[in-house]
Amino acid sequence: MTSAKETLGFQAEVRQLLHLMVHSLYSNKEIFLRELVSNASDACDKLRFEALSDAALFESDPELAIRITYDPAARTVTVSDNGVGMSRQEVIDHIGTIAKSGTREFFQKLTGDQAKDAHLIGQFGVGFYSAFIVADRVTLTTRRAGLGAEHGVRWESEGTGEYTLETVAKAARGTEVTLHLRAGEDDLLSGARLRDIVHRYSDHITLPIVMKKEEWDKDRGAMTVTAEDETVNQASALWARPKSEITDEQYAEFYKHVAHDFEPPLAHVHAKVEGTKEYTQLLYIPAHAPFDLWDPRQRRGVKLYVRRVFIMDDAEHLMPHYLRFVRGVIDSNDLPLNVSREILQESKDVEAIRAGSVKRVLALIEDLAGNQKEKFATFWREFGRVFKEGAGEDPANRERIAKLLRFASTHADTDAEEVSLADYVARMKPGQDRIYYVTAESFPAAKNSPHLEVFRKKGVEVLLLHDRVDEWVVGHLPEFEGKPLQSVAKGALDLGALEDEAEKKAHEEQAGAHAELVGRIREALGERVKEVRVTFRLTDSAACLVAGEHDIGANLERILRAAGQKVPESARILEVNPEHPLVRRLAAEQDATRFAEWSAVLLDQAALAEGGQLDDPAGFVRRVNQLMLALAGDGPGRVWVPGQ
């Protein structure tokens, strides 16, 4: 039986993608077969998982396999499977649209460089469309496992703006994709050519990939197809083989399959754990961050198998959130085959597997940091901000994570995050007992923070933390190797042994000498400040704002407000530099109104210098204008600079 054909239009993004496939990726055309085989493998894995709770889905065909055939006369290549198949609505959802939240990001990332763009295809879950690289028409016939033969669906498109859909009879469950080859693609109508592509890209697929056996016909002087089937891949779980039998190329191709990536991984670890818990890990760190790394709905990249039977492909309980970029496979010998997400959440076995897997990944990253500097630099560039989350998320491994963290600092004064905490400690000044840092919304704001002035003068290194996640890091990392982390913008400045007795005495004398000025500014500003005091951290700036020792820092307060969080109102401490010409002029000002106005300018300037926002920008502009007019005038209001 068949129904009338229905013609539907592609989602706009699919049309754009099809154009890319045909015109940009021709030089990498072999990828079509890997993607179709990978999709077939996924469909079989899903059926095997669903059949754990409903064995009737196997119907009368429990032996799962992928079949590749070709027809030189019709000029077609067909990839078929007896996996889970699709219903009519699933065909529309999965083939007619790109059901991904990151579709727009996909097209934004396209560079026009064929090699670079090729790796994005599988990563964005759109590998099916690669069929149009070699085919000018694609026919997909499918039936969902568990539905009757009359519920088959045929989808067909020429890769332009629309596709047809009709209901057909299909006796066997699963999916069959037939490619009607473009002119000039006849080299694919060869068993040897197709086998070569399978060996290169899909040898690791755990299901048998079946083709008809071919033999040499002496009379015809050519290979002829026989009726006998043969498996053309190894059809065994790569992770279950001894490491000595697996080449780097095989590891890389398996990664491309599980990660849907077109580029080799940055690093991998393959280990078999034996003892009270038995499981095998094959885990990869990608060379590039996936497009949806920051998407809260992003699926994790670790597939769970139980005794080589696929269970699920986003086993979030096996890898913490800060390692969500890790891809690969974990195969357990102890978990039940009917394991559910609820069981995973509560299982002690899963806790042990997760803990062991995290340690393997951290050891892999430690090896990169210690022995493969360039690869570690790539890792940090791609995943450093995500990895920093582990300082708060994984207290059991906090010390190991802390040693792997990298930051910018005043040592190089560049935004390159290359300084480890161990590097910092090794460069600490004699008598220095703290690790100093400043947080800001951007690197320029951190680098030019007025709070750094005395540290630059004394040659004391300060970490420049300009990622939002850095506030999370320092909030959960109070010390490193016995050295407390200290914000240069919080609390009273205590340089300890970095100051000699003469400096400390001079500070005390200065604070006493300017007590009257500090009191006048405090009175003028009222509740806008928590306290006013003479600064010992400024050398060039007139004033700065400081948070109380136990108050929320200004940068964290801004981040929380931007996220919609309620933050309790807290006034800041204003520190003034009595040696600065503006402050000296302020001290000489006898007009109470002008003194109050200029005190407010000083406060607003300090807020702007640390990247803050003003409550009354118009008032600030008015006061600055008045100050500029006073500077330019000849009357008694003209600013007097001592010594000039």
Supply the DSSP symbol for 325. Answer: T
The token pair at 479 is 């010390």
Q: Residue 167, CB half-sphere, CA atoms under 13 Å: how many?
A: 12
> Residue 623: CB partners within 8 Å, gap ≥ 6?
597, 598, 600, 601, 604
So what's the pLDDT on residue 297? 63
CATH fold label, 498-632: Four Helix Bundle (Hemerythrin (Met), subunit A) (1.20.120)
**Under 8 Å between Cβ of 588 and 617:** no
The token pair at 379 is 């890792």
Give the residue from 308, 313, 258 showing the smallest Cα distance to 284. 258
Tell me how far apart the alpha carbons of residues 301 and 325 are, in angstroms, rounded to a whole number.
Answer: 7
> Residue 179: CB partners within 8 Å, gap ≥ 6?
32, 76, 77, 78, 79, 131, 134, 135, 138
CATH class of 410-470+478-488: alpha beta
pLDDT digits (tens, 9 = 90+) for 82-91: 999 999 998 8
Give the residue from 88, 71, 70, 86 showing the smallest Cα distance to 33. 70
CATH class of 6-231: alpha beta
Which residue, chain included where needed, has tokens 């502009």? Answer: 621
Distances (CA, A) of 2 to 5, 300, 496: 9, 40, 86
Q: Is 52 exposed, middle or buried (0-12, 13-18, 19+ CB in 10 A)?
A: middle
The token pair at 394 is 């994984």
Supply the DSSP symbol for 2. Answer: B
Please name the amino acid found at residue 377. A
Q: What 3-state DSSP class applies to 109?
A: helix
> What is the maximum span of the chain, computed from C-alpha positions, in angstroms?
115
What is the distance, to the nearest Å, from the Cα of residue 111 to the centroid of all Cα atoms in its chain? 20
Tell me how far apart the alpha carbons of residues 636 and 421 are, in angstroms, rounded to a whole number.
Answer: 55
Tell me how far apart the alpha carbons of residues 510 and 398 are, in angstroms, rounded to a whole number.
Answer: 43
Residues of the chain with pLDDT under 50: 99-103, 115, 118-119, 122-124
**Under 8 Å between Cβ of 149 and 171:** yes
Q: What 3-state DSSP class applies to 599?
A: helix
So what's the pLDDT on residue 478? 93
**Under 8 Å between Cβ of 486 and 435:** yes
Tell me how far apart the alpha carbons of residues 203 and 197 are, in angstroms, rounded to a whole number.
Answer: 9
Give the residue from 242, 331, 237 showing the smallest Cα distance to 280. 331
Q: What 3-state DSSP class applies to 114?
A: helix
Dihedral of CA atoms 126, 128, 132, 138 in degrees, nearest 10, equals -140
Question: What are the extents of the domains in the chain?
Answer: 6-231, 238-377, 410-470+478-488, 498-632
Which residue, chain included where needed, has tokens 């990169």? Answer: 368
Q: pTM score, two decimals?
A: 0.75
So what's the pLDDT on residue 310? 77
CATH fold label, 238-377: Ribosomal Protein S5; domain 2 (3.30.230)
So what's the pLDDT on residue 234? 84
**Under 8 Å between Cβ of 86 and 153:** yes
Give the residue from 143, 177, 156 showing the smallest Cα distance to 69. 177
Point out which residues pair with 270 in neighbouring strands: 282
**Cα dihedral sign, 412-416-417-418:** negative
Q: How do 162-168 and 152-157 pair as beta strands?
A: antiparallel
So what's the pLDDT on residue 626? 82
Q: What 3-state DSSP class applies to 479?
A: strand
Starting at the earlier edge strand, list the strands of the sheet with 435-439.
408-409, 463-465, 435-439, 483-487, 479-480
Supply the DSSP symbol for 553. Answer: P
> Residue 406: CB partners within 8 Å, gap ≥ 6?
380, 384, 417, 418, 419, 420
So what's the pLDDT on residue 5? 84
- Report which secondary-structure segment, H or E, holds 5: none
Tell me how far apart the alpha carbons of residues 211 and 229 are, in angstroms, rounded to a whole number.
Answer: 6
Total length of the chain: 644
